Amino acid sequence: MKFDLNEEQTMVRKMAHDFAEKEMLPTLLDCERRREVNLTLIQKMASQGLLGVHLPQKYGGMEAGYVTASIVWEQLSRASWTQTLISLGHAVLAGTILSKVANEEQKQKYLPDLCNGSLIVAMAAVEPNVGSDASAVETKATLDGDTWIIDGSKNFITAGNLADVVLVLVQTNKDLGPKGLALIAVEKEVSGFTATPAEMVGGWASDISNLSFMECRVPKANLIGDIGRGLQNALIGIDTARLFVAAGAIGMAQSCLDACVKYAKERYQFKRPIGGFQLIQETIARMYAEIEATRWQVYYAADLKSKNAPHAKELSAAKWLSSELAVRVGAEAIRLHGAYGCTNEYLVEHHYRDAIMSTILGGTSEMHKLTIGRELLGINALS
Ligand SMILES: Cc1cc2nc3c(=O)[nH]c(=O)nc-3n(C[C@H](O)[C@H](O)[C@H](O)COP(=O)(O)OP(=O)(O)OC[C@H]3O[C@@H](n4cnc5c(N)ncnc54)[C@H](O)[C@@H]3O)c2cc1C
């Protein structure tokens, strides 16, 4: 059992940490105020190899393993988890699916450009009536000769408006239920496709959009993977997205703790720094202990995933605990900063707004509890 970072992880950690400080933080507030995605970040991350940190070298990735990837996602999220999400979340979700499921021609077509920052590929499973139960997808794909015709709607899709291509989870034959599901790549310029940004509690410098497909015609060859395995193939990407969210939540929580330590020494009340009061020290000590314990749970799940070992309950525990922790620490950090914590003068307010979204993306806390229950009891509460 080793608890120290290796040379590559130490180097990548510093690179990502410096990137967050120098490239993300200085423009974050301005982008949030203007509700604008900072597109230059994607190029800058690509030039440092940060986009495809977990993707195969053959297609332009770093192939550095999931512990290293988690370290990168954690460090970048210390500045902003949602800005990290919009800059490289597509490589995490769609990039993983393409690298594991697409045929060689499709991999060559999409992955090198995705890693070099010139192509954004979103993945759309969730719909107005379909959330946690993705097996119930209603968006329809009908084969007409050599063309798929796609009709339906998708909601809350990361980079849905920015994306050049969307991997859409579709139903090809309602009678087959989940066995009719498939993933089809839809290119943005296709007629009948529209994207409308969703206004959300956080992610103000991000893009989460609702998509509509009205008789969108795409080539038969755009099928990614097999018909009947659409849900399983989507879940391959969602598994990596869960790790991304867990690592990002640790980054948000750590950033809040750092802000609290600094503020507790600077802010004086009753003629003393507030950090001199035992109640404030208890708050900070609890944050530290919970973040430290949960970080190791995240790295442990990442290590199992890198080794291709079973990791469902470990990753569910990491995702559930870290995202809920980020919300709790965010709220406590705001309280510790008093009214100033409610303004955008301090980052804690930004993290708090984003953290609540991290409890939902990649599966809600309830879904992760049910996964752990299934793994421990051998009883699936959902079937
Ligand atoms: C920031 C962000 C980015 C996103 N990006 C994407 C994306 O790129 N692509 C994509 O496809 N989707 C994306 N989503 C959507 C996300 O995957 C869904 O929001 C999530 O799967 C939950 O679905 P829902 O919101 O419809 O909630 P629902 O499934 O309707 O759940 C509502 C509530 O009921 C609970 N619940 C549901 N079923 C059960 C049960 N059996 N037992 C107990 N409780 C239950 C849930 O835990 C939740 O609290 C994103 C969401 C967010 C917030």
pLDDT digits 0-9 by tens, 65-105: 999 999 999 999 999 999 999 999 999 999 999 999 999 99
Q: Which residue, by CA, sits nearest to atom 36 of ligand 1? A: 366
Written as six digits, the tokens of 140 are 């329809």
- Ligand 1: which atom is nearest the Cα of residue 203? 1
CA gap 199, 53 in Å, rounded: 30
Tell me the three state secondary structure of residue 309: coil
Among 80, 121, 132, 183, residue to substitute to test ligand 1 (most atoms within 8 Å of Cβ): 132
Going by alpha carbons, the residue nearest to atom 16 of ligand 1 is 361
pLDDT in tens, 130-174: 999 999 999 999 999 999 999 999 999 999 999 999 999 999 999
Ligand 1 neighbourhood includes 234 CB (under 6 angstroms): no
| High-pLDDT (> 70) share of the chain, % | 100
Q: Specify the residue with its C-alpha closest to ligand 1, atom 2.
A: 361
Which pLDDT score, from 0 to 100, does residue 14 have? Answer: 98
Closest Cα to atom 38, ligand 1: which residue?
132
| pLDDT given for residue 238 in this prediction | 98
Q: Which atom of ligand 1 is nearest to the CA of 367?
A: 47
For ligand 1, whether the C-beta of 132 sits within 6 Å is yes
CA of 66 to the centre of ligand 1 (A): 24
Amino acid at 238: I
Asked if residue 231 has its Cβ within 6 Å of ligand 1, the reply is: no
Secondary structure letter of residue 201 according to DSSP: S
CB 220 within 8 A of CB 206: no
Contact 165, 187 (CB under 8 A): yes
d(CA 78, CA 255): 5
* Average pLDDT of the residues of the chain: 98
Q: Which residue has tokens 């297609």?
A: 59
Report which secondary-structure segment, H or E, holds 336: helix 312-336
Give pLDDT, residue 2: 83
Residue 127 parent element (H or E): none
**What confidence score (pLDDT) does residue 1 get?**
82
Domains present along the chain, CATH in parentheses:
7-115 (1.10.540.10), 121-227 (2.40.110.10), 232-377 (1.20.140.10)
SS3 content of the chain, % helix, strand, coil (to 5): 55, 15, 25
In angstroms, rounded to a whole number, what is the distance separating the alpha carbons of residues 52 and 39?
17
CA-nearest residue for atom 25, ligand 1, is 131
Position 235 pLDDT exceeds 90: yes
pLDDT of residue 48: 96
Question: Is 124 close to ligand 1, i.e. is its CB under 6 Å away?
Answer: yes
Q: What is the distance between the alpha carbons of residues 244 and 230, in angstroms, rounded to a whole number?
A: 21
Separation CA 61–CA 152 (nearest Å): 33
Stretch 313-319: mean pLDDT, rounded? Answer: 98
Distance 340 CA to ligand 1 centre (A): 32
Query: Cα(134) to centroid of ligand 1, in Å?
Result: 9
What would the pLDDT profile of 270-282 be if each residue is shown by its tens digit?
999 999 999 999 9
H/E element, 133: none
- Pocket flag, ligand 1, residue 232 (CB < 6 Å): no
Structure tokens at 352: 């708090």
d(CA 224, CA 335): 48
